[in-house]
Amino acid sequence: MNRDAYIRSPTALEGVPFAGDDLGGRKDIADRLTHFLGRLRAGCVIAIDAPWGAGKTWFGQNWRGDLQSKGFRTAWLNAYEHDYAEDPFIPLAAEFAALAGPGAKTFRTRAAAVGKRLLPDTAKIVLHVALDKTLGAAGAKALKDMFKGVPEELGGLGEKIVRERLDNHANQRASVDAFQKSLRDFAGESADPIVFFVDELDRCRPDFAVRVLERLKHFFDVEGLVFVLLLNRSQLEAAIRGIYGTDTDAPGYLSKFFQLSLNLPVSRQPERAERAIESYCNAIARRYKHPEAADVLSFIQILTALALPFALTLRDIERTFVLYEMAWHQGCVQRLLLAYFIVLKIKRADLFESAVVQNTEAGHREAESMLRNLVKVWPDNKRLPQFLAYHMAGVQGFTRLDPGIAQTFELVFSSAASASEIVRIVAESVALPDIAT
């Protein structure tokens, strides 16, 4: 059974914000949003919506870097890395405390007071009930005796908690007011609002994701704070229905939290998009410390040509480099086939298995049909006909070889046996565990 490995996104921007061509004119979007921030002193929650792998994190990091270069104070929270926490208030407040610096003792004290009151004070009741049901009276008593200070009378404990809740309600409200005043004072130290990015919200446990939204609304909704949520809205709506029921009006629920929601666009200009994809591929190659050698550049060129026809997301592209890295260490040198096989494995795992790994006639026929359709949609793409010719030869068991195939793929297809052997070697270098990002 294949096991997925989570590839963690970089936590900081590498290089100049929006360096090179960006997908869909996203720098223009960031510039417009930055201009809009000047009107948001009253506070705001902005939702940036895009499917998984479409570049939300990349956009957020680059926009954040651009804002920092203009003097804005910013913070960043990867919500997915904190969804083990009981309550998201603490991670959120901690990022503000880090931004405020070591001198913000008052802020920390007031945040701690609110966080303490958010702890589930019914935990002791739950413990007693669970012990009684699972261990019986005798076993439960033995373990209960280990917890000093825990009252034996459940009714008395419940009554005490309710009474304390009533008595302390005013103090609790005062703690929240004091905390929000500290936030307001901190935000007011600059004419520009603080911009707080929350990423990976749609990856979190449903209850944690919903609680993040509610904490922002109830505790962090003050002047001078702008939250930017990078999310997949459809997934977040599914989480809301999972918490409150399938009949819940999830879009309406979210509208209570978002003052502005926009979709992250994808470029409709193929030439511009290809330049952006190639730039992104080069950045990924540098991150993985690939040398600027001819074989790496060739791999990037082929991958760039396949990215739009196969609708590769930015996360898909990063996955290709993970598989490329593994295949490269195994000595695979057939870059053209390697790039195509990797893309096929990521986007059409069924065809990768049937046409490449199993090398079946039916698999090649289905892949041939797929590529014919892609050629119709992308008639100017020079790579697609090459892979179409490859599968056409595969349908014939590589017994009827077009002389151009050998030159195209830089292979010695002197016979069907040699062709199958070379394909097998390349396929084995790609047939690695799935990588999830």
Architecture of domain 23-120+183-263: 3-Layer(aba) Sandwich (3.40)
| pLDDT surpasses 70 at 417 | no
Render pLDDT for 52-110 as a digit per residue (tens, 0 to 9): 767 788 889 889 999 999 999 999 999 999 888 888 888 888 888 888 876 677 777 87
How many alpha carbons fall within 13 Å on the CB side of residue 295? Answer: 14
**Interval 274-299 mean pLDDT:** 79
DSSP state for residue 228 in the 8-state scheme: E
Residue 234: which of 216, 209, 217 has the closest Cα? 209
Q: Output the pLDDT for position 140.
A: 43
pTM: 0.64
**Domain spans in the chain, listed from the N-terminal domain onward:** 23-120+183-263, 270-430
Query: 119-128, 335-344, 387-396, 422-431 — which is least confidently predicted?
Result: 119-128
Query: 49-63, 255-269, 348-362, 410-424 — which is least confidently predicted?
Result: 410-424
**Interval 316-326 mean pLDDT:** 83
Alpha-carbon distance 146 to 142, whole Å? 7
Q: Output the pLDDT for position 411.
A: 46
**Interval 116-131 mean pLDDT:** 49
Render pLDDT for 356-369 as a digit per residue (tens, 0 to 9): 888 899 999 999 99
* In the chain, % of residues over pLDDT 90: 15
| pLDDT surpasses 70 at 252 | yes
Residue 168: which of 214, 121, 111 has the closest Cα? 121
Highest mean pLDDT, choosing among 47-61, 137-151, 362-376: 362-376
The helix/strand/coil state of 233 is helix
Please, which pLDDT band fits residue 203 given cuts at 50, 70 and 90?
confident
